[in-house]
Amino acid sequence: MNQYIHTGKSPEDIVNIFAVHLISWINETAGDTFHLALSGGRTPSLLFSLLAEKYSREVPWQKIHFWWGDERMVAPYDEESNFGMVNKLLFWKLGQSPGRIHRIKGEGDPIGESKRYGLEIKSLVPMSNNWPEFDLIMLGLGDDGHTASIFPDQMQLIESEEITGIAYHPVTGQPRVTLTGKVINNAKRVAFLISGESKAGIFDEIIHYSKGASNYPASHIHPVGELHWFVDEDCLGRNKNITTSPKNQTSSFRQ
């Protein structure tokens, strides 16, 4: 696995840096499809607004199939819906074709929707190593080290033999449908977009393979392709010296 760390001074900086990489990755992908799984969260919301406002003419939208890494079981117009956020900030402004938007139907039954969504992925996303191979999966990092909707008390989802699984928020009990670890780790690229001082400690433990890091689901993300971290200065914490290339604000290393 090749791992890269991209840094910026602020959340706005890192979503700009990510947008440039995203456009490059889509353009360099052979064929006419790019399977992209989106993430919810505050930092991705900045990205979706930026893409609509600044890069609407530069992104080859017709090539992208939009998926989601996870979704809360709420209606698509609910303020907690990951699809609803993207629809409001990006799709509505672009007038994207519904044919290339593959949402998790949060208004449905979790068991039935997990099965349906898994079958839709299997029918459309190319398979490799007996698993769906997304071109890019975007992820966030929770204050407890969770990613997608794989929480520390539900680590079985990392090694699940299913494409999708059902997770429950450890505090509220809210059900969610999520991609499982083996699907995430089979992606060509995985990109974490994280910002804020509250994530600094966990980020530090994960990239330095600290003893307690194995308790964080995010530390088990080791894709067969590339792993990218897009982080701001607050999240870097004491790791501000990891950036070795001022020109592109990127450092890289192999694991």
The pLDDT of residue 246 is 34
Single out the residue of 35, 34, 43 nearest to residue 10, CA to CA.
43
The pLDDT of residue 234 is 93
The pLDDT of residue 245 is 34
Looking at the domain assignment, is residue 1 inside a domain? no
Q: How far apart are CA 98 and CA 92, in angstroms?
A: 11
> Which letter does DSSP use for residue 211 in this model?
G
Low-confidence ranges of the chain (pLDDT < 50): 243-255
Looking at the domain assignment, is residue 70 inside a domain? yes
Looking at the domain assignment, is residue 105 inside a domain? yes
Q: How far apart are CA 219 and CA 209, in angstroms?
A: 8
Per the structure, the count of domains in the chain is: 1
The pLDDT of residue 96 is 81
pTM: 0.94
Single out the residue of 95, 126, 163, 130 nearest to residue 29, CA to CA.
126
Looking at the domain assignment, is residue 252 inside a domain? no
The pLDDT of residue 224 is 96
* CATH code for the domain of 12: 3.40.50.1360
Looking at the domain assignment, is residue 111 inside a domain? yes
The tokens 């609803």 sit on which residue? 84
Looking at the domain assignment, is residue 182 inside a domain? no
Q: Give the other-Cβ count within 10 Å of 165's Cβ.
A: 25
HSE at residue 10, side-chain half, CA atoms within 13 A, is 3
Looking at the domain assignment, is residue 47 inside a domain? yes
The pLDDT of residue 10 is 96
Looking at the domain assignment, is residue 91 inside a domain? yes
The pLDDT of residue 240 is 63
Alpha carbon separation from 186 to 5, 189, 232 (Å, rounded):
20, 9, 26
* Residue span of the structural domain in which 14 resides: 7-175+202-211
The pLDDT of residue 154 is 98
The pLDDT of residue 241 is 61
Q: Give, in degrees to the nearest 5, the angle at Cα 132 between 128 and 134.
A: 100
